[in-house]
Amino acid sequence: MGRSRLQNSGINPIEEESPDSPDASASSGPSRASLACVINAEVAAVLAVMRRNVRWGGAGSGAARYLPSAADDHLDHPLVQSLKSLRGQLFSRDPAHFLDPAAYLRPFLDVVRSDETGAPITGVALSAVYKILTLDGALRPGDGDAIRGVVDAVTSCRFEVTDPASEEAVLMKILQVLLAAMRSPVAISLSNQHVCTVVNTCFRVVHQAGTKGELLQRVSRHTMHELVRCIFSLLPYVAESTDQPALLNGEMGAVDKDQSFGVNHAENGNGNVGSLGNSGDDGVLGVETPNGMRVMMEPYGIPCMVEIFHFLCSLLNIVEHMEMSPRMNPIALDEDVPLFALGLINSAVELGGPSIRKHPKLLSLIQDELFRNLMQFGLSMSPLILSMVCSIVLNLYHHLRTELKLQLEAFFSCVILRLAQSRYGASYHQQEVAMEALVDFCRQKTFMPEMYANLDCDITCSNVFEDLANLLSKSAFPVNCPLSSMHVLALDGLIAVIQGMADRIGTAPPRTEQAPLELAEYTPFWTVKCEDYSDPEEWVKFVRRRKYIKRRLMIGADHFNRDPKKGLEFLQGTHLLPEKLDPQSVACFFRYTAGLDKNLVGDFLGNHDEFCVQVLHEFAGTFDFEDMNLDTALRLFLETFRLPGESQKIQRVLEAFSERYYEQSPQILANKDAALLLSYSLIMLNTDQHNVQVKKKMTEEDFIRNNRLINDGSDLPREFLSELYHSICRNEIRTIPDQGIGFPEMSPSRWIDLMRKSKKTSKYIICDSRPFLDHDMFAIMSGPTIAAISVVFDYAEQEEVFLTCVDGFLAVAKISAYHHLEDVLDDLVVSLCKFTTLLSTSLVEEPVTAFGDDMKARLATETVFNIANRYGDFIRTGWRNVLDCILRLHKLGLLPARVASDAADDSEVASDPVHGKPVPNSLSTSHIPAMGTPRRSSGLMGRFSQLLSLDTEEPRSQPTEQQLAAHQRTLQTIQKCHIDSIFTESKFLQADSLLQLARALIWAAGRPQKVTNSPDDEDTAVFCLELLIAITLNNRDRIVLLWKGVYEHIANIVQSTVMPCALVEKAVFGLLRICQRLLPYKENLADELLRSLQLVLKLDARVADAYCENITQEVTRLVKANATHIKSQMGWRTITSLLSITARHPEASEVGFEALVFIMSEGAHLSPANYILCVEASRQFAESRVGLTDRSVRALDLMTESVTSLARWSRETRDAGEEAEKISEGIREMWLRLVQALRKVCLDQREEVRNHALSSLQRCLVGLEGLCLSTMSWLQAFDLVIFPLMDDLLETAQNHSQKDYKNMEGTLLLSMKLLSKVFLQWLQELSALSSFCKLWLGVLSRMEKFMKAKVRGKRSEKLQELIPELLKNTLLVMKTKGVLAKRSTIGGDSLWELTWLHVNNIAPSLQSEVFPGPGIRAGVTC
């Protein structure tokens, strides 16, 4: 039944005491004696007032007419008698009479009821009752009869009105007593009927007070308010309602304005006030069920609350029917009464809270009647009413939103979205109140997510979230006007939504990528359901699926509006319609898809094609017309499409409608034909009444006459037709409905439809603090949000607004980063960078001072770098804008010195890596330019220090305090930005972001030009290159990601530079530095890194010459640190090439040779991969005439000593198995290249070098222990090295002057000795060759040539002496080894003959000396 439960009500009933209890008086309330004294005083007060009146003063002529008879002159009036009787009983020794509250209240209540007493007497009696009621312990739980008696008496109070003031006093006391009665602990004994009577009485006083003083008005309204609060505060403690009987018939608030208190209708026109509890015409508590009266007589609970709430709602209904009396208070009734009613309703909702949903009848009142009235009053011109309506809706949202899904949608669509925009005719105050309400809703953390989940993702609902977000964004834009409070208010709402999303991220787990939704097969889209609303995984999947369907349907609608056939084909392709169209699916597409062209839908439905007719009937079947008036049903039906103009199409449409309507609501109609004819008649009546071209309008009688005998040969009830007629006349049926532009008004028929839908709509989804849908929501609103915040930030002037915008920017960045919305974050960064003013400071005379004075610019700068540091992982193209700001700060000299440093700099000595000179301290205060002149390279403190150095030679103006303060603010801002962290912490950036940062640096540096750039451009390019190198070094583990772009950028610089400059210097040494750092860690990239150093070889000659020494130093450092990490021939080729080119450079050769010595000395770093390259490099140094001859000699020694490495490798190959021969062949090739290189040095002009080279060559040809050379190798040595060397030396000695080649004679002697020694060393192996004869003849021919050679114009005596001796020795050895003998078979007989032929030309006597014998002579063959 819904009665209050005492154990939970918070009301502590007082246990009845035994009269004999000795502690009774002490344990509860006042003692009996005290209570008696109080009552006695009140009796005395009432009697005293009565005696002042002549009527009650005694037996006299004036009073006689009021007494029963003249014989009773000296008898008291019954009222006086009862008071005196009570007085006598108060101090009676018999406690039984005293303990009954009803007994001692009765005399006072009799005075209140009596119509013979005047206002003063009634007022004193009411005061007495009030005093007793409020006396602690005077009434106890068992005294229900007493409290009921009080209510009955006071609500039927009668008194004689003498003057307005006393009347108002009595009315106020009535209110006072009734409120005290309801607040009494015994009030729980009151019945539902009593409570309704109390409320009704108070309301009548409120109504009657309208013609009286303001005090009574205020008191009466306050009392009414407190009564409602008192009653509904018990709602949370009332048991849940079950099947209640139908409650009350009629309206509680039916006010008879002619009734008032008092029976004497005096000059002031007062009457009496009836009560709710009266029977007959004055009562309004009739019941519809047999047990209804019993319900009202039970202790009060839900029945009276339902009736009171219904009464409060009805106050909103009757406002339009109330007329203002001439004597009413001048407060406008159209604002005053609704405000009063809405205030009471709001209190009831606040106190009832979520408990209301436990009681279906209360909930039903809120869902239907209350919300319908709120929709109506929401469009009121009164800001007060609108504000109260919004407050009620906010409370309802907070407590009952799960039960009010469609009602909330309607409120926002038809009220808030209409009133918050001026284009719909709303006044500024309406807009402001609506916007304030919307902002309040947005501050509810779950409001926007729930609107999105429940409405935007429901195909039958509008996109409330999207519309509200767009409204807030647009309302924040100041268009051609200064920033106003309305713009800031909208911004608050927008940021509240964004901040809610950001807050939800704080407790969320790392986001996982969501797979894109696609429908694999056709499923009826209107049947999609959620399996489990309590499981977030289930309902999130369900919501996203519905949103996907809704979006696809919208796209399909767009296609349909352009070409219906293509639109349906598109939906078939997305599996929203079956491959073979069926009528039901197409009908549901028409019914549930917003944005369709209603003209096209009407034409389709009216088409005579069989399929279209089937679709029409299925379409009609989607409507619920049960128990609905015909005109309402017809309105709803025709709102969904435009009724076609052709009569046949109209007939088909109305036939489908009539069939469906008769199927569901056949009550009065005999058949569907009757429904069809009546529908036609309504359409005709609608046209007649609302078409301006029809002059003579149809009357009610005409309409009734036109519809005779249509109900299966009989007439329809006249009342039924009359109601239809007036409904059409008052409210036109729109046969050309709106195309969904704007926000519709809530018509009665639409409200009926809404209530029907609310019973079938999907369950309301409650969102919690997790960001399940924030990605999708933010993707919708991010663009307008950033634009709106940016515009407000641009227009704002107050610090508070600036900070609000900054909070919004940071929240947007946080959300974008969490949901991986890189494009959004880029847009935000672009927008923020514009506000830093750093991109336009060139137009400002004092940019640093201006920046320090501009709070907006400083906040924007802090924010953009805050975002870059926090959320850099998700910045892409936005890096370009960030770098623009950094570059401008660099030009102004405001950057910290460490910005371009890398992580390893801390461990390095602070010296110039190129020149070995100390790096200038960026914090130095010396050499500071004049204020206002940007420094191209200074630290953060450098800018500030220039203000402090006033002792330089050039006069300069002393900075003012304001300038100093501005500069200090600038420095503080830059320090807060932590710009250096962007680059030093770049190793933590995600790969894509890091790559984009590098590309942005390359882009910011600009493309190098062969023509010299301006100093600013070059400075920018150098700075960008420094940053690029820094992030490259900081990301050595991800060098593969960056290397291509970095290399290409450096290559462009190197190849396009023709003159020495800072940029190419930074490029070259940066490249070397990268290689130095990364080679130890990236062996797989060693070749790539070293290949990049070939760029140095491509430097313009002038550039290379300028930096050669320093380049060589860096290469040397690289070699010494990373020689063991260089494995490939290609890598060594690059290194040796770089070293080789230094051989002839005066400054660089020493360092370059040092590196070569490091590689080759003792073979420490020689390998088959670099052997030939190092030999060739050594040759270059040996031939170089730069520096001392000793270096050339040392280079030759390095070459000679390298043979030991060859020997070692040769020994190691013996265990190499199958690969041994191949490796040995490589070693032999290296040896050959070695001797060839030495052969070239043997032709050097310098005698010492030349001769040392010959000695070195001899050692390499002779001292080959452990080196396995083949005979073929020796043949090659003679053919490619020794013989060409002998020829070249001879040619040089004969054809070049002594000045160029000193002491060539000695060189020729050495070469001849080398020839003889090598030949004899390998004679045994060579003699076995078939080509030995040719080789031997080559030796002889060289000796012969040398014998005949003229040095300095004459033959050399030393050669004349040496050659025969060497030849003789050679012949003897050959003889000894059997190589040369008479009739030798080796080489044929020609060897002997040819030998002596040549020998005789050199020394004829040698033959006889070597081969003494009688028959032997030169030229004779055997």
Cβ partners under 8 Å of residue 267, min gap 6: none
Taking the mean position of all CA atoms in its chain, how far away is CA 1409? 107
- 911: three-class secondary structure by DSSP: strand
199, 204, 210, 213: CA torsion to nearest 10? -80
Q: What angle do CA 570, 572, 574 make, to 5 degrees?
A: 75
Lookup: tokens for 1341: 């021919």
What is the spatial distance between Cα 1191 and Cα 1176, in angstroms, rounded to a whole number?
15
> Residue 118's beta-bridge partner residues?
160
Lookup: tokens for 535: 């499981």
What is the spatial distance between Cα 637 and Cα 643, in angstroms, rounded to a whole number?
10
Q: What angle do CA 1032, 1037, 1043 make, to 5 degrees?
A: 45
Q: Are 903 and 1016 in contact (CB under 8 A)?
A: no
Residue 1166 one-letter amino acid: L
Angle between helices 1101-1122 and 1062-1078 (to 10 degrees): 20
Cβ partners under 8 Å of residue 1274, min gap 6: 1322, 1325, 1326
1367, 1373, 1377, 1383: CA torsion to nearest 10? 30
What is the spatial distance between Cα 919 and Cα 360, in angstroms, rounded to a whole number?
83
Q: What angle do CA 439, 441, 443 make, to 5 degrees?
A: 70
| 1228-1261 residues labelled b (16+ CB within 10 A) or e (exposed) | bebbbbbbbbbbbbbbbebeebbbbbbbbbbbbb
- What's the residue count for the chain? 1422
Angle between helices 214-232 and 302-318 (to 10 degrees): 140
Contacts within 8 Å (CB) and 24+ apart, 1219-1226: 1223/1168, 1224/1268, 1226/1168
Q: Which helix H or strand E contains 1198, and what residues bound it?
A: helix 1189-1201
| DSSP classification of residue 413 | I
Q: Render 1348-1385 in DSSP notation, one character per residue.
A: H-EETTEE-HHHHHHHHHHHHHHHHHHHHTTSS-TT--
The neighbour count for residue 258, using CB atoms within 10 Å, is 8
Q: Are 1401 and 1341 in contact (CB under 8 A)?
A: no
What is the spatial distance between Cα 1314 and Cα 1311, in angstroms, rounded to a whole number?
5
What is the spatial distance between Cα 1250 and Cα 1183, in angstroms, rounded to a whole number?
9
What is the spatial distance between Cα 519 and Cα 527, in angstroms, rounded to a whole number?
14
Active site residue 646: yes
Q: Could you say which of 626, 646, 1048, 1083 is catalytic?
A: 646
User: Nearest CA to 747 among 725, 726, 722, 730?
Assistant: 730
Torsional class of 716: left (φ above 0), alpha (ψ -120 to 50), beta (otherwise): beta
What is the spatial distance between Cα 485 and Cα 792, in angstroms, rounded to a whole number?
11
Cβ partners under 8 Å of residue 290, min gap 6: none
3-state SS track over 348-400: HHHHHHHHHHHCHHHHHHHHHHHHHHHHHHHCCCCHHHHHHHHHHHHHHHHHH
Backbone angles phi, psi at 1282, to 5 degrees: -70, -55
| 652-684 residues labelled b (16+ CB within 10 A) or e (exposed) | bbbbbbbbbbbeebeeebeebbbbbbbbbbbbe
Q: Which residues are catalytic?
A: 646
